[in-house]
Structure 1
Amino acid sequence: MEERYIPSQVEPKWQEYWKNTQLFKVEEDSSREKYYLLEMFPYPSGKIHMGHVRNYTIGDVVVRYKRMRGFNVIHPMGWDAFGMPAENAAIDNNTHPAAWTYDNIRAMRAQLKKMGFSYDWDREIATCRPEYYRWEQWLFLKMLEKGMAYRKESYVNWCEKCQTVLANEQVEQDKCWRCSQVVQQKKLWQWFFKITDYSEDLLLHCDQLPGWPDNVTTMQKNWIGKSVGAALDFKVEGSDEVINVFTTRPDTIFGATFMCLAPEHPLVETLSRGTDQEAAVNNFVEKVSRQERSAEGIEKYEKEGVFTGTYCINPATGEKIPVYTANFVLMGYGTGAIMSVPSGDQRDFDFARKYGLEIRVVVQPEGEILDGATMTEAYTGRGIMINSGQFNGMDSKEAIEKMADWLEASGIGKRAVSFRLRDWGISRQRYWGTPIPVIHCPSCGVVPVPETDLPIILPEDANLLAKGQSPLPTLDYFARTTCPACGREDAKRDTDTMDTFVESSWYYLRYCSPRYDKGMFDPKAVEYWMPVDQYIGGVEHAVLHLLYSRYFLRVLNTLGLVPFKEPFTRLLTQGMVCKETMTCPEHGYLFPEQGEKQDGNLVCTMCGKDVDVGRVIKMSKSKKNVVNPNELLEKYGADVTRLFCLFAAPPERDLEWSEDGVEGSNRFVNRVWRLALTCMETIQGVDAYKGPADSLKGDQAKELYIKANQTIQKVTADIETNFHFNTAIAAVMELVNAMYTIELEKADDELKSVIWFCLENVLLLLSPIIPHFCEELFAHMGNKGSILEQPWPEFRKDSMQTDEVVVVVQVNGKLRAKFSMGADSNEDDIKAAALGDSRIVKYIEGKEIRKIIVIRKKQTLVNIVV
């Protein structure tokens, strides 16, 4: 054997072995307990980045561990291959999206295989393949048939740069989630999925996902946004039209002196048509369509509005009040109409003052008298009702219920619930996506494509138009078709494609039976494998992919296709990979290799000027603070790369890139390698000791054996309970250090048998983390087959004796956790254990740790200051 670990000799060898033996291939087996682990699949950009490496390494460790624990483990991989990311990249590289996507899939597949990830490649899928999206089209038809999908003309989020509509969830701070262009409002015919049918159920089950991080369920709750109040109808004067309003403050209805509609509200155009205000309203609506339209965005603009030329009737007072359209009203909240009570809402107050509208006080503080004419700001607190008919003198909080009773009894309104969540607009005016399976006939209108005609295949020979515009409407051979209902030959296919998140909303089901051709999935396979036991991916998808996936499973449940509602039992949102930025005064941001040390200074390799090292932030191409995984694989190999990703930080926290950290991981790997070589050269013909510690005669042997059993317990607990691989690795490092203290040449057979036991278990414990390395050494120890086929080591309870101390952990002086540790644990181990404790994580997550104080007495006190 070589004196050092040489990855280029070892890693390809074992990757070929795993492939030839089909070690990672799995089938349903009712006699074994299943375990489904899934990482969010990538879109094929052409290169894996360090975020991929970390994410997939975390998953791979868990998979290998679970296999050794006897589970029947499914671990699939595929490609989120449709959508704007792939199409925009293809345009930027002057190539076709299909060629770009398939070439990138080949490149990324090769990269993932070089990392040694234990995927069952027989289950590989690509969402751009007709055999995949055929079933998506089939489901669309079923949803259309059941009223779960519909088409309407409405104002939608439009990205001019990407030339397409965006769902509300794809607008981040008023900008496109992909290109950061400010989103505009545009009126278009669009297809929608009725996700709002499940608002209450999606919200309710947020509290029934104990395996999910609290921050993710909180984000979903906030996005769904349930509000309790009343629904009211304001009749339009001289018309049959009615303005529907939702309010959380029905107690203030007597103070509603005007009505405000969102500029996108469908009644704005209707009410102003034919009035003297028509032109002014149209100009205002056009102006607002170019502004940012979100709760945060509207605060940037002065509150403005235009009178529509129409009045409506306040149902409580019988008074006619003017109807305005205003830029501070959002169509995405409530009904897009606000009964404006300027005395009780600051925005309404500012608007009323600007346009000279009445301010009528209906709630005033007890013991005070407010006058609408002299008020300087709205009063939003609790108080006594005035100017409110029979409710005068009543406490405003009590009046909410009484008023709701009266509204219902009088037929004016009713108790109601409103949700922020809006139906999911799935139409995209782009080429690279799943064709929507409907036909537009001049005689029949919208006609579903017959199921027998599926899939409607996206023509992959189409040439893209300028600015990314879809060529589908211009392709007569695709767009022109025969109506399946009446036979007319001038019917047109729908040339929009589906949002890419439709594909990723059900892919986890397809993995269960990827070659099944009788439906979306084989029901028996789904019954065995689903739900996903552990899902791993970024928190940025909390109200995109994760919410949509939960919705899709409810649709499938309603259609009787699956017997459950939630797709993912446990969710891990891994932290980001971060690195400091480097900037040159002449060349701006620099890649890591563009800075080098000269005479103790960091200088730019292109101009020699001093480089400024900035703060540590998420790795990104735009800031150039990226590390190429290929360079790491070339220099260190897969296992050292994996080890660093796992040892540098717990999975849920950000990982700060460190060249020294990678070198440290490399040193540890070679330290174990040298130890193994020495043991194999020195210890011959001795079986590993596996009895109780008390039967050992030598103190060294007994102490080392106890240490090994403690390590097995520690590593098992760290992986099983919270995936804290960093502390698990630290525990193995301690055992290796203890083994290095033994003089093998002087060891008797008893001590040698304990050392052999320790070496075997070091390799078994490390095998999920650095698998190629451990396979190689395990084979050289004389073992047959793969180390992955060995059972996970079990510690002996009768060999755990040690003096222990109680560790008390405080966060900012408040007691948060207690646990026991060995009395000989060093301070770093105690800190790591405290930071890794699940009871502590929730109090420190996302916060800056200023210092950690350890005080060692009869009890060990740890105070974490955040």
Structure 2
Amino acid sequence: MREQLDSLGLCFNWDREVTTCLPDYYRWTQYLFIKLLEAGLAYQKEAVVNWDPVDQTVLADEQVDENGRSWRSGALVEQKLLTQWFIKTTNYAKPLLDALADLPEWYGVKGMQANWIGDCTGCYFDFKIRVNGEETGETLSAYSSSPEMVFGAAYLAILPSHRLLHGSSSVRSVLEKAFQPGKDSLTEVTARNLLTGHQVPLVISHKEAFDGYLDTVIGIPDSSEEDLSLARALDLRWTTVLKSDQEGTQSLINSKEFSGLSRKEAFDSITQKARELKVGGHLTSSKLRDWLISRQRYWGTPIPVVHCGSCGAVAVPEDELPVALPKLPSLTGKGMSPLEAAHDWVNCKCPRPFERHLGDHWLPVDVYIGGKEHAVMHLYYARFLCHFSLLVSFREPFWKLLVQGLIKGQTFKLADSGQYLKRDEIDFTGTQGIPVLAVGGGRIEVTWEKMSKSKHNGLDPQEVVQQYGVDTVRLYILYAAPPEQDILWNVKTDALPGVLRWQSRLWQLVTKLREARQLGDFPNPSHLKKKELAEVKRIWESKNYAIQEVTSHFTEDFLFNAAISRLMGFTNTLNSATVTVMQHSVDFEDALAALVKMTAPMAPHLASELWAGGTCNPVLQQGGDVLQQSWPTVDPEYLKVPDFVQLSVLINNKACGTVTVPLQASKDSEQVQQLILESPLGQKLLRKCSIKRAILSPRTALINFLIDE
């Protein structure tokens, strides 16, 4: 992959590469895990995972196909209960939700995160499980949407799918005896609320799901008719905790020191007390889950915990990090398994202490680049770790977000089974060009999906580079769509011919300048007459406008397709210059130099050739290659000029001229139409026309009038 990236002309400083699978990186993820463990935010419990019985490994959801089979081995995936490590991200749900208000709008990602977190109107409380009055040592967290009424709890309810009924829990056999499918079952197991001290019975619900994604809830008859009905049906006892005065205002009773408080006051006080005692109380939603971080794969980062027979889970001392995996080849040669070599894992170097001033200097990250598939998972967890960490002085880890779309490839799969096919398994010569299975002629579904090895729709970048050239491929990807939109990989679309034509015009432009300069040794501006001077002024204005727009697209909104469009327009302006202007205008050469510099980040190889100007009499060379030049800046004199924009006017998609309009009005379609209709150009070309529609481009200085012919 590094060779492919280099072949695309992407200039990475590999000395600053961060490789997350190497011990010198993941020693710090292990360090953070230990800090989370110390803070009570890392814990273990059994959870259902996707298990591949052939590869003997856990699979992510996306590694299981729509038929429930492993994409690699083809085995039918099993649902298996395994002990997993979790991080209590739910404890930070409310501050993470509230902090979204301080962030800029991120391609709809803020809304996605807010929806993922949900309304933080309830919380969990911790309970200790008991059988025959004896605690088993197991802790169960149960959710309540009315935490202010927790002293009125009548029972704890779990689903039939709960891990206590299916895992290695010590109360499993007791619960199985009581369980009656399709009915609410009252068990001999009880649970002690660690905040209130009250003991309530454990009920196995007849439901398949509670509100949201909950599997354990607190039944409070005062909070809902459903809870009241179940408590009465099972003949349970509970304490009434609400009373209303004559005006209908509710306050608490029978709730110890919280009695007498209004519901709002009790909500705040009870949840705060639970947080102080570390027995729950963190505001979260009924849909948000804690973060499962275990990875049962040999290449995963080892959890830095020693499992002691007498002491339980013990964190590895910080000065013994990283806990690194032994190398498999050395084990294979000795006939050893990874577990047999585990005694060697603790021979590690002492980690360098964290230097806060360096973290505050380099962070937050200037631009986070990722797909929208990370909007509610990776991005959310990164924000959680930053909120949790006391190592840095800021809460939010990223200044800006660039959500890039996917490059999708054409996929072929059997219509009846959904199995993905390779192209060599398909016959494309069928009736009306409809692809069918090469052997047997089975019907095939054709779709566009994210490129993936498992879908056989990937593309080797080096093959495309060899066919079209590096810069053409780069420009095609950037020009085909804004970065946040998907691209369907089909180089026969209009985008590829467009960038090919532009590159040709750039080459012709430098060639024309060289030829014009060969007519005389040095530019002589005194040869420019009034008409040419007006032309030079337009070039100067176009140059400064292009620098403003392209710089903004590069640094603010990342609309690289719009930057290319602006450079294409700037190229057309320069291409229309007369030979005299090319020969004698220093402003023309300066404008062309700016054009090549701004092209360089996107097409570095072409720009370098243009900058060199060929093998003799280089025109644009100003010392060194184009990539060594400073970025062009707007002339101070241009900034003094009132803010106006030169708008290209099209009629039925045909360019007809330009009109200068105030910058403030340039984005208002109605104002722009009125100004153009009042202009000499508009009076000449549009006065007697029936205008069906006027389309103002949101990204380029262009308006297109559609009229009746």
Same structural fold, with TM-score higher than 0.5 when normalized by the shorter chain: yes
Tell me, in whole angstroms, the C-alpha distance in 2 between the residues paired with 1:429 and 1:519: 29
Specify the SS of the correspondent of 2:400.
strand
Matched, 1:546 2:379: yes
Residue type of the partner of 2:92? Y
Matched, 1:308 2:165: no
Residue type of the partner of 1:279? K
Q: Whose relative contact order is higher, 1 or 2, with alpha carbons under 8 Å and at least 6 apart?
A: 1
Which of 477, 500, 524 is the equivalent residue of 1:645? 477
Map 1:303-382 to 2 at 5 A: 305-309=184-188, 323-329=203-209, 336-339=216-219, 357=233
Please state how far the C-alpha of 1:159 moved relative to its aligned partner.
1.8
Q: 1:157 to 1:244 in 2, by over 3 A?
A: closer
Please state how far the C-alpha of 1:537 moved relative to its aligned partner.
0.8
Tell me, in whole angstroms, the C-alpha distance in 2 between the residues paired with 1:156 and 1:201: 27
Which of 13, 33, 37 is the equivalent residue of 1:120? 13
**8 Å Cα contact 1:732/1:762 also seen in 2:** yes
Specify the SS of the correspondent of 2:49.
strand
Matched, 1:735 2:570: yes
**8 Å Cα contact 1:203/1:221 also seen in 2:** no
* Partner in structure 2 of residue 31 of structure 1: none
* Partner in structure 2 of residue 288 of structure 1: none
Which of 108, 124, 132 is the equivalent residue of 2:25? 132
**8 Å Cα contact 1:260/1:326 also seen in 2:** no
Q: 1:402 to 1:454 in 2, by over 3 A?
A: closer
**8 Å Cα contact 2:7/2:462 also seen in 1:** no
* Partner in structure 1 of residue 158 of structure 2: 261
**8 Å Cα contact 2:31/2:321 also seen in 1:** yes
Tell me, in whole angstroms, the C-alpha distance in 2 between the residues paired with 1:608 and 1:853: 54
Map 1:134-533 to 2 at 5 A: 134-144=27-37, 146-148=38-40, 150-152=42-44, 154-161=45-52, 163=56, 184=79, 186=81, 188=83, 190-210=84-104, 212-216=106-110, 218-219=112-113, 222-223=116-117, 226-228=120-122, 239=133, 246-249=143-146, 260-263=157-160, 278-281=176-179, 305-309=184-188, 323-329=203-209, 336-339=216-219, 357=233, 390-391=243-244, 399=250, 408-409=258-259, 415-416=270-271, 418-420=283-285, 421-461=288-328, 475-479=339-343, 519=352, 523-533=356-366
Residue type of the partner of 2:513? C
Tell me, in whole angstroms, the C-alpha distance in 1 between the residues paired with 2:611 and 2:458: 35
Tell me, in whole angstroms, the C-alpha distance in 2 between the residues paired with 1:392 and 1:234: 36
* Partner in structure 2 of residue 782 of structure 1: 621
Specify the SS of the correspondent of 2:697.
helix
Which of 524, 548, 551 is the equivalent residue of 1:716? 551
Q: How many residue pairs were aligned?
A: 632
Please state how far the C-alpha of 1:527 moved relative to its aligned partner.
3.4
Please state how far the C-alpha of 1:584 moved relative to its aligned partner.
8.5
Please state how far the C-alpha of 1:704 moved relative to its aligned partner.
3.5
Please state how far the C-alpha of 1:227 moved relative to its aligned partner.
1.7
Residue type of the partner of 1:672? L
Matched, 1:834 2:698: yes
Specify the SS of the correspondent of 1:569.
strand
Please state how far the C-alpha of 1:634 moved relative to its aligned partner.
0.7
Matched, 1:725 2:555: no
Q: 1:737 to 1:605 in 2, by over 3 A?
A: farther
Matched, 1:569 2:381: no
Tell me, in whole angstroms, the C-alpha distance in 1 between the residues paired with 2:90 and 2:408: 37
Residue type of the partner of 1:792? W
Please state how far the C-alpha of 1:200 moved relative to its aligned partner.
3.5
Tell me, in whole angstroms, the C-alpha distance in 1 between the residues paired with 2:35 and 2:440: 64
**8 Å Cα contact 1:574/1:652 also seen in 2:** yes
Which of 510, 514, 522 is the equivalent residue of 1:676? 510
Tell me, in whole angstroms, the C-alpha distance in 2 between the residues paired with 1:821 and 1:575: 36
Tell me, in whole angstroms, the C-alpha distance in 2 between the residues paired with 1:233 and 1:573: 42
Residue type of the partner of 2:625? S
User: Normalised by the size of structure 1, how large is the TM-score?
Assistant: 0.58
**8 Å Cα contact 1:262/1:326 also seen in 2:** yes
Residue type of the partner of 1:542? A
Which of 587, 605, 625 is the equivalent residue of 1:772? 605
Please state how far the C-alpha of 1:433 moved relative to its aligned partner.
2.1
Q: 1:668 to 1:222 in 2, by over 3 A?
A: same
Tell me, in whole angstroms, the C-alpha distance in 1 between the residues paired with 2:366 and 2:33: 27
**8 Å Cα contact 1:581/1:623 also seen in 2:** yes
Please state how far the C-alpha of 1:218 moved relative to its aligned partner.
3.7
Tell me, in whole angstroms, the C-alpha distance in 2 between the residues paired with 1:335 and 1:426: 20
Tell me, in whole angstroms, the C-alpha distance in 2 between the residues paired with 1:580 and 1:647: 20
Q: 1:804 to 1:520 in 2, by over 3 A?
A: farther
Residue type of the partner of 1:779? A
Q: 1:222 to 1:252 in 2, by over 3 A?
A: same
Q: 1:585 to 1:757 in 2, by over 3 A?
A: same
Specify the SS of the correspondent of 1:427.
coil
What does the per-residue CA deviation read over 1:688-738, in whole Å, with 9 as the maximum and x for residues that have no partner? 8999x9987544333344333332333233333311121221122122223
Residue type of the partner of 1:248? S
Matched, 1:791 2:630: yes
Specify the SS of the correspondent of 1:337.
strand
Please state how far the C-alpha of 1:359 moved relative to its aligned partner.
12
**8 Å Cα contact 2:436/2:444 also seen in 1:** no
Q: 1:574 to 1:818 in 2, by over 3 A?
A: farther
Please state how far the C-alpha of 1:449 moved relative to its aligned partner.
3.6
Specify the SS of the correspondent of 2:624.
coil
Tell me, in whole angstroms, the C-alpha distance in 1 between the residues paired with 2:246 and 2:131: 31
Residue type of the partner of 2:487? L
What does the per-residue CA deviation read over 1:171-199, in whole Å, with 9 as the maximum and x for residues that have no partner? 999999998987746252x4444444433
**Pairwise CA RMSD:** 5.8
Tell me, in whole angstroms, the C-alpha distance in 1 between the residues paired with 2:361 and 2:423: 47
Which of 649, 656, 667 is the equivalent residue of 2:488? 656
Please state how far the C-alpha of 1:574 moved relative to its aligned partner.
1.0
Tell me, in whole angstroms, the C-alpha distance in 1 between the residues paired with 2:66 and 2:445: 29
Tell me, in whole angstroms, the C-alpha distance in 2 between the residues paired with 1:328 and 1:246: 16
Please state how far the C-alpha of 1:165 moved relative to its aligned partner.
6.3
Please state how far the C-alpha of 1:592 moved relative to its aligned partner.
10
**8 Å Cα contact 1:578/1:654 also seen in 2:** yes
What does the per-residue CA deviation read over 1:334-379, in whole Å, with 9 as the maximum and x for residues that have no partner? 7812417699578x79x96xx994899xxxxxxxxxxxxxxxxxxx
**8 Å Cα contact 1:304/1:328 also seen in 2:** no
What does the per-residue CA deviation read over 1:641-669, in whole Å, with 9 as the maximum and x for residues that have no partner? 11111111111122233323223322321
Instruction: Give structure 1 stretches of 5+ with no counterpart.
Output: 1-107, 285-302, 361-386, 466-470, 485-492, 494-515, 838-851, 858-866
User: Normalised by the size of structure 2, how large is the TM-score?
Assistant: 0.70
**8 Å Cα contact 2:320/2:350 also seen in 1:** no
Specify the SS of the correspondent of 2:121.
strand
